[in-house]
Amino acid sequence: MHSFFSPTTSSGDAKLDVDTLPGNDRPSRARRARMPLIVGGIAIIVLYHVFHSVFVPGCTARSTPLSFGHLNTQSVCPQEDVLTPTKNSDMWSRTNELYSTQSFRSRAVRRLGEAVKIPTETFDAMAPVGEDSRWETRQPFVDHLAMEYPYTHKYLELQKVNTYGLIYTWKGTDESLKPLLLMGHYDVVPVAPLSVDQWTFPPYSGHFDGENVWGRGSSDDKSGVIGIMTTVETLLELGFKPTRTIVLSFGFDEEAGGYHGAGHLGPALLERFGPDSMAMIVDEGSGFSESHGAIFAAPGIGEKGSVNVQVDIQTPGGHSSVPPEHTSIGMLAALIVHLENNAPVPKLTPNTPAFLMTQCLAAHAPSMPYSAKHAILHADKSKKAMKIAEKFLFQDGMIKALVGTTQAVDIIHGGVKSNALPEQASAIVNHRIATQSSVKETIDRDAQLVKALAAEFNLSVTAYGEHLTPLGAPAYGTLELTAPQTLEPAPIAPSDAKPFKLLAGTIRAVFKTARADTLDKDKEIFVMPGIMSGNTDTRFNWELSDHIFRYGHGNMVIGGLNGIHTVNEHISAASFLEMITFFTTLILNVDEAQL
């Protein structure tokens, strides 16, 4: 076998080393002369392995803390200690003991199943409450809450806003403390009639198969609402009296923007409590999942903005037997292709929630390649490192979507008859706007993209009320862009302040508590700042607090998205009970905290 240490002739053939022959162990001048070559060879091998571990993709990082120059991975994304109640420790122990019983599990699951049976579907463009009969499906759900949670309705003040919006107030003994606001929504997206037979169990059956509760809303977001209500009811049953006021706010049309529900609840809360009145706000959001060999929870400290850009083309009609070179539909199709071929390019931007999230991944994910860790941790200081970090991170479609502004053409209309030229064609382009961007930057970009192509079709262009082509100039048709509903990216909650630290410590405590008797009890959860790709009802509560978080403590390690917004939506009973444990621990921790 050829040795790396054997010197070779110029032809590449190994020279015979007489000093290594059997029986010849006498030191020689040749052997001493060869020592630098041996040492050099060892150095080359060491350097090879170091280079391989640092720069070769797929090589996993070490599990011990790493130092990258002046950076230590454990200081980049420090983790809070597990936080359990102290003053309320007895109550916390009693609830944990109760939650482990079969009787409580059965009651909690039944409550959720019964809630799922009520089809509180929200459709786009519903008329105001009182004018559209479809809102009336909410009343059975409100009645269900009143029946299932008698203590809550006895001891908490209930304010109904715009008929079906619900504000529950559990007054604390110290009115000088800012309240905790817990939010959720009890409406659901409609079930497509053609998909009903694809469900394992009927979509509004609320069926429990011994492991999962099935049905529309079981995960998004009736589990959140029922989880909060079950927590409050249980604490009342056990005699808990909060020091800090707790407020619950439940909307009924979040799936269509929340304008009729939270859009009225937010102003009502602002009028009653005033600006900056809440210690912290927690609404629905993603739970915890596994990435690169570690489990992470990512409470959303912000959320992306959104805008629907409507593209309308109008051209002369006529008989299809004498067609122009391009119909309005053909022009629209070309514009859509042009938009998709020039989609916004995501860029990792320092100090944004998405950037902080990737820093935490690099700091704590044991199986992330060492080269990626190094690049991510230095991305804010080196353009080269930033490019390497982006190339690695954007292989994950979810991270890529969270980092930048996205676009999706979701709706298209055009034509009324097969033998009539379409006089109108339209499309809606949905954008989710990166936290470092804005509505104006997004819609202006669309306008500039379509302007040049519209000129090729001899279309005059009007964008958001502004004429981009000269008035009165001859044109074959018109192209108009409008943006009737817009939402700027949300303010960013500080992740180094007490409320986020309390939330992080609570998440770590619940994760550990829920697994005290399971095989994976030694697993650790890392909490990092996150970002919501969608929008929540918190959009109407920005004035109430600087500390708004979107987090649901759902187990996405085993459940993924659980069929949210699609066929076979469900939630495991274990995950639902852990959600209740989370809300309980959060309430008890906040109650005794200095915020």
Q: Looking at per-residue confidence, does 50 or 154 come out higher?
A: 154
Give the pLDDT of residue 39.
39
Q: Is the pLDDT of residue 445 over 50?
A: yes
Q: Looking at per-residue confidence, does 556 or 210 come out higher?
A: 210
Give the pLDDT of residue 471.
83
Q: What is the mean pLDDT of residues 313-335?
A: 96
Binned at pLDDT 50, 70 and 90, residue 561 comes out as low
Tens digits of residue pLDDT in 464-490 = 999 999 887 889 999 999 999 899 999
Q: Is the pLDDT of residue 309 over 60?
A: yes
- Residue 364 amino acid letter: H
> Across the chain, how many H-helices and E-strands are there?
17, 22
Tens digits of residue pLDDT in 130-152 = 999 999 999 999 999 999 999 99
Residues annotated in a binding site for Zn(2+) = 185, 220, 255, 283, 565
Give the pLDDT of residue 45.
36
Q: What is the mean pLDDT of residues 94-107?
A: 97
The region of weakest confidence among 52-61, 243-252, 378-387 is 52-61
Q: What is the mean pLDDT of residues 376-405?
A: 95
Rounded CA-CA distance 124/105 in Å is: 36
Give the pLDDT of residue 356.
96
What is the helix (H) or strand (E) element at residue 296, kind and residue range?
strand 294-297
Give the pLDDT of residue 169.
98
Q: Are residues 555 and 288 in contact, defined by beta-carbon separation less than 8 angstroms?
A: yes
CA distances from 124 to 338, 388, 426 (A): 28, 42, 17
> Which of 535, 537, 539, 574 has the alpha carbon at shortest distance from 554?
574
Rounded CA-CA distance 450/455 in Å is: 9
Binned at pLDDT 50, 70 and 90, residue 25 comes out as very low
The SS3 assignment for 158 reads strand
Rounded CA-CA distance 433/442 in Å is: 7
| Residue given tokens 């003053």 in the structure block | 87
Give the pLDDT of residue 22.
34
Give the pLDDT of residue 3.
31
Residues annotated in a binding site = 185, 220, 255, 283, 565
Q: What is the mean pLDDT of residues 410-423?
A: 96
Tens digits of residue pLDDT in 508-527 = 999 998 765 554 556 889 99
Give the pLDDT of residue 534.
84
Rounded CA-CA distance 224/183 in Å is: 8
Token digits for 131? 């004018």
Token digits for 554? 């759902």
What is the chain's mean pLDDT, rounded? Answer: 88
Give the pLDDT of residue 71.
57
Q: What is the mean pLDDT of residues 59-78?
A: 58
Give the pLDDT of residue 252.
98
Domains and CATH numbers, the chain: 89-301+492-591 (3.40.630.10), 302-487 (3.30.70.360)
Q: What is the DSSP string of 207-249?
A: -B-SSEEESTTTTTTHHHHHHHHHHHHHHHHTT---SS-EEEE
Rounded CA-CA distance 80/332 in Å is: 52
Q: State the alpha helices, DSSP H only, in 102-209.
A: 102-116, 138-148, 150-155
- Is the bond leading into 221 cis (omega within 30 degrees of zero)? yes
Give the pLDDT of residue 55.
36
Binned at pLDDT 50, 70 and 90, residue 75 comes out as confident
Give the pLDDT of residue 515.
67
> What are the φ/ψ torsions at residue 494 (nearest 5 degrees)?
-70, 130
Q: Are residues 167 and 158 in contact, defined by beta-carbon separation less than 8 angstroms?
A: yes
CA dihedral 140, 143, 145, 148 (to 10 degrees): -110
Is 569 catalytic? The answer is no
Q: Are residues 165 and 250 in contact, defined by beta-carbon separation less than 8 angstroms?
A: yes
Which of 187, 253, 390, 591 is the catalytic position? 187
Q: Is the pLDDT of residue 106 over 80?
A: yes
Rounded CA-CA distance 509/92 in Å is: 12
CA distances from 529 to 66, 432, 508, 540, 558 (A): 21, 19, 14, 21, 22
Is 522 catalytic? The answer is no
The region of weakest confidence among 36-50, 143-157, 440-454 is 36-50
Q: How many CB atoms lie within 10 A of CB 258?
A: 25
Tens digits of residue pLDDT in 256-268 = 999 999 999 999 9
The SS3 assignment for 485 reads coil
Q: Is the pLDDT of residue 65 over 80?
A: no
Which of 148, 233, 254, 303 is the catalytic position? 254
Tens digits of residue pLDDT in 189-244 = 999 999 999 999 999 999 999 999 999 999 999 999 999 999 999 999 999 999 99
Q: What percent of the chain has pLDDT over 70?
A: 86
> What are the φ/ψ torsions at residue 320 (nearest 5 degrees)?
-70, -10
